[in-house]
């Protein structure tokens, strides 16, 4: 997947929205980010770091939205946080900045009317799409760019006409194994020099990183957004009249 592919995806759906647009929503979000990879295998909300971002949504129907988003955060981790003996010996750590742009399809589980606070005013939803992520090193190696597949679930509610509150938890499966700076290495040649520990037979059966698995990161967000009347978005007075 390339940057050109991501831009093509964005422009294609933006062009389609001109004919099918149901509403336009602009919002801001913030929350926590955390990393999963060669250092943190499975611990949720490990070393959580704050994030902040913005989103632009095109509402096609009461079931489907196109969402363009951006957020900034940091990711970090260190082997010393874990009791695994091999990680204690390896003793790796990292700290990176992260800037992501994404294009996702948001699918509402329930019919959802933007602007209505009385009926069809909330829904759980799922999201999936494509993202481009720029990773900035703060201490070593070079900055780099990677693609990612975002997917997750959330819940949104109209709290007043046109104002939407949302919460979500989503994952990013990246196309890189180098967010944490750890990948497969030649243990026989490098281990004793790098870590000052004799290479035992037990260690020799292991590798420093997982060769065939890429790194992940996850985000938990709270968002607030405003929906503009475009196309079929109704007037709040209409909802109040027909709800009596």
84-109 pLDDT, tens digit each = 877 887 788 899 999 999 999 999 99
Tokens, residue 120: 């069809």
Is 22 a member of any domain? yes
Selection from 137, 136, 108, 106 nearest residue 122 by Cα = 108
Quick one: pLDDT at residue 97?
A: 95
Task: State the residue range of the domain holding 75.
Answer: 3-82+96-180+215-242
Quick one: pLDDT at residue 41?
A: 87
Is 71 a member of any domain? yes
139-151 pLDDT, tens digit each = 656 789 999 999 9
How many domains is the chain partitioned into structurally?
A: 1
CATH of the domain at 111: 2.40.160.20
What is the C-alpha to C-alpha distance for residues 118 and 243, in angstroms, rounded to an integer? 7
What is the C-alpha to C-alpha distance for residues 6 and 13, in angstroms, rounded to an integer? 11
What is the C-alpha to C-alpha distance for residues 150 and 98, in angstroms, rounded to an integer? 14
What is the C-alpha to C-alpha distance for residues 204 and 206, in angstroms, rounded to an integer? 5
Is 199 a member of any domain? no
Tokens, residue 196: 């000052």
What is the C-alpha to C-alpha distance for residues 234 and 117, in angstroms, rounded to an integer? 12
Is 105 a member of any domain? yes
Quick one: pLDDT at residue 13?
A: 47
Is 125 a member of any domain? yes
Q: What is the DSSP letter of 234?
A: P
Distance of CA 189 to the CA centre of its chain: 37
Quick one: pLDDT at residue 19?
A: 43
Quick one: pLDDT at residue 201?
A: 53
Quick one: pLDDT at residue 118?
A: 74
Under 8 Å CB-to-CB from 112, ≥6 apart: which residues? 62, 63, 120, 121, 122, 123, 156
Is 210 a member of any domain? no
pLDDT < 70: residue spans in the chain: 1-22, 138-141, 184-212, 229-244
What is the C-alpha to C-alpha distance for residues 217 and 15, in angstroms, rounded to an integer? 30
Is 162 a member of any domain? yes
């Amino acid at each position: 997947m390339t940057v050109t592919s991501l831009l093509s995806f964005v422009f294609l759906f933006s062009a389609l929205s001109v004919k099918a647009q149901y509403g336009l929503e602009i919002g801001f979000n913030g929350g926590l980010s955390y990393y999963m990879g060669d250092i943190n295998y499975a611990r949720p909300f490990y070393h959580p770091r704050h994030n902040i971002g913005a989103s632009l949504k095109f509402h096609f129907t009461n079931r489907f939205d196109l969402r363009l988003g951006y957020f900034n955060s940091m990711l970090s981790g260190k082997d010393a946080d874990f009791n695994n003996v091999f990680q204690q010996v390896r003793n790796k750590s990292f700290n990176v900045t992260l800037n992501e742009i994404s294009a996702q399809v948001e699918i509402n589980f329930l019919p959802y009317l933007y602007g209505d606070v009385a009926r069809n005013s909330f829904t759980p939803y799922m999201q999936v799409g494509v993202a481009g992520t720029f990773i900035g090193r703060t201490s070593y190696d070079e900055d780099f760019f990677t693609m990612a597949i975002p997917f997750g679930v959330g819940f949104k509610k109209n709290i007043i006409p046109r104002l939407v509150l949302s919460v979500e938890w989503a994952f990013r499966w990246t196309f890189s194994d180098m967010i944490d700076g750890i990948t497969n290495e030649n243990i026989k040649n490098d281990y004793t020099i790098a870590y000052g520990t004799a290479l035992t037979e037990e260690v020799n059966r292991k590798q420093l990183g997982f060769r065939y698995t890429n790194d992940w990161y996850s985000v938990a967000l709270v968002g607030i957004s405003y929906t503009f009347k475009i196309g079929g978005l109704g007037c709040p007075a209409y909802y109040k009249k027909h709800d009596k």
